[in-house]
Chain A
Amino acid sequence: MTHSTPAPAETEALGTSPTASSPARRRPSRVHRQRLRAAWLFLIPMLLVLAAVAGWPLLRTIWFSFTDASFASISEYNWVGLENYLVYDDGMWFGVLADPAWWQSVWNTLFFTVVSVGLETVLGLIIALTLNAQFRGRGLIRAATLIPWAVPTIVSAKMWGWMLHDQFGIINDLLMTLGIIAEPLNWTANADLSMWAVIMVDVWKTTPFMALLTLAALQMLPSDCYEAAKVDGIHPVKVFFRVTLPLITPALMVAIIFRVLDALRVFDVIYVLTSNSEDTMSMSVYARQQLVQFQDVGYGSAASTVLFLIIALATITYLYLGRKQIGGEA
């Protein structure tokens, strides 16, 4: 997939281009110096903004995680060391890492991530394969798949909250009409069902993203190997698993990793659909509850920092694999 756009090293840039003929050698270097200066002048504002809005706040969050700062008086705090993370006091362990609710939220987040990204990948693949076929009204279906993506997460959570309503919801009505369930289910409050309700909403909302990225990958496949397979009379299912799937795997992996990193920081859909219920609480919901609702900036920052470390680890793994992949192709 990455060969569609040049990797950074392959890009030709003016001034350093080795094709510059020797008589003109001196001029490009002056131009090049001017361009270099301009490049940094152009980059510095952006880097400063990122530092102000991301770098500095992140450092402060990590700093706060070693203090007892509170939301109301964020400027008055004492250094408490690792107390917010883990502390042994009076025969008991305290801190984020000793809180069963935190570990529950870690488990919830991982479960949510694996199940919803898995379902989105499979459904996205099915939709992409369908849209890749030639049929009348294809444009219409492709437009329709974009609708869930455009709906704000909050709105989709509310819409589904209404559809999943225990008394007046259309899903209970439908399932009862079809005879699948006898009693209406309380989807968002029942401990066994609420996580599945969250996953349902997320799958609805983000499958289009997966479908579109998969479709883009499918449309770049060379058609000649399909013709060869057709001539040889190989079964389409076999062609899919032997040819299509291996060829789109790199693109699929990139899309999956994007979704995984997104799912690990999930907040909106869970907060709106099931509020602060422990059965569905994600790491982000846990951290924000400590920070804002319980006003405990120190403790909440410790939870945020652990979440950051988890995502940083996932990102580094991704970058490492991505670089290896680009390196392999070059």
Chain B
Amino acid sequence: MNSRLLKRIAGKIGFTILLVAILLFTVFPFYYAILTSFKSGSELFTVEYWISSVDFANYAAVLGQGSFVKSIWNSVLVSFATVLIAMGFGLTAAYALGRVQFRGRSAVLMIVLAVSMFPQVAVLSGLFEVIRAMNLYNDPLALIFSYTIFTLPFTVWILTTFMRQLPKELEEAAIVDGASPLTTLFKVFVPLMWPAMATTGLLAFIAAWNEFLFALTFTLTDDQRTVPVAIALITGGSQHELPWGNLMAASVIVTVPLVVLVLIFQRRIVSGLTAGAVKG
């Protein structure tokens, strides 16, 4: 055997090891959560690497809790409403920012970018006062309101990027026909923007679904919470008696829909993330 062949084989083996390492690194923790969620009782306290038995007792226990099911509904409601609101305000703003040249445009873009950098804690007490004044404390509506602080800026940002890439001939015809800007937006652009809107909507949905700090602070009782808070607050008798089986079942329940969505739309998500970040 000559040394070149040997080198190539070594390279192949090294590459395969790298691939396996990447796959283990990314997938194993979630796999292990699924594995744990199928265990019950004392099985939990022996470490296993392979799924040996499938027991849905933890899932039954979690879904049997009225408050957990309610928190799933709260999360669904809050996330969908957040996406709708971000889309409504975002599309119109992105049309103005992406298609019309006017003075102050870059200032508006800077404001949008600056808000997306806001640390959530920095607005916590001010937002708490606003929410109390609107009588929305301990109400999922407060979350829909407050989540626009992070969904709206990046919706505007990404949609503006996409809107700019569309050819201007599209609009010219509509303007010659005397269509109003609102008609132009909804009749000409929105039908072409579906892919971008799906991407942005998905990113906004995931952000709202995963949000924790506002949800923890602005809700108080079990049946008003969203799932991240519900999971974080699952407790046993003490730190060492956490019901890990239930916890992992709950984690899998709230994560599987996201993972499925992400895997279906992976190309869109990648393009959305790069559009959001690359446009600096």
Contacts and interface: CB of A to CB of B under 8 A. Distances in A.
Nearest to A310: B119
B201 to A, nearest CB: 15
Contacts of B108: 43, 47
A82 interface: no
Nearest to A43: B96
In this complex, the interface size class of chain B, counting residues with CB under 8 Å from chain A, is: 35 or more
In this complex, the interface size class of chain A, counting residues with CB under 8 Å from chain B, is: 35 or more
Interface stretch (A111-119, A221-229, A239-247, A263-271): A263-271
Interface in A54-102: 54, 56-61, 63-64, 69, 71, 74-75
B34 to A, nearest CB: 10
Interface in A314-330: 315, 318-319, 322, 325-326
Given A147-B26, A154-B210, A284-B121, A168 B32 contact: no
Contacts of B23: 141, 144
A231 B105 CA distance: 48
Nearest to A216: B274
A185 B269 CA distance: 38
A39 B100 contact: yes
Given A6-B164, A39-B96, A216-B278, A57 B175 contact: no
Interface in A38-55: 38-40, 42-43, 45-47, 49-50, 52-54
Nearest to A53: B149
A47 B93 CA distance: 9
Given A50-B152, A61-B125, A74-B129, A154 B278 contact: no
Contact of A130 (B18, B125, B152, B216): B18
A180 B126 CA distance: 50
B126 A60 contact: yes
B44 A284 contact: no
A64 to B, nearest CB: 5
A306 to B, nearest CB: 9
Q: Is the interface of A mostly helix, strand, loop or mixed?
A: helix
Of B18, B45, B129, B259, most buried by chain A (CB within 10 Å of CB) is B129
B254 interface: yes
Interface string B208-228: 011011001100000000011
Contacts of A261: 117
Interface string B163-180: 011001001100100001
B40 interface: no
B123 interface: yes
A13 B101 contact: yes
B115 to A, nearest CB: 5
Interface of B: 15, 18-19, 22-23, 25-27, 29-30, 32-33, 36, 44-47, 49, 89-90, 92-93, 95-102, 105-106, 108-115, 117-130, 132, 145-146, 148-149, 152-153, 156, 161, 164-165, 168, 171-172, 175, 180-182, 185, 206, 209-210, 212-213, 216-217, 227-229, 231-232, 240, 244, 247-248, 251, 254-255, 258-259, 261-263, 266, 269-270, 273-275, 277-280
16 contacts: A8-B109, A11-B101, A12-B168, A43-B96, A50-B111, A53-B152, A54-B115, A54-B123, A54-B149, A61-B123, A152-B254, A153-B228, A213-B278, A291-B125, A297-B125, A305-B122
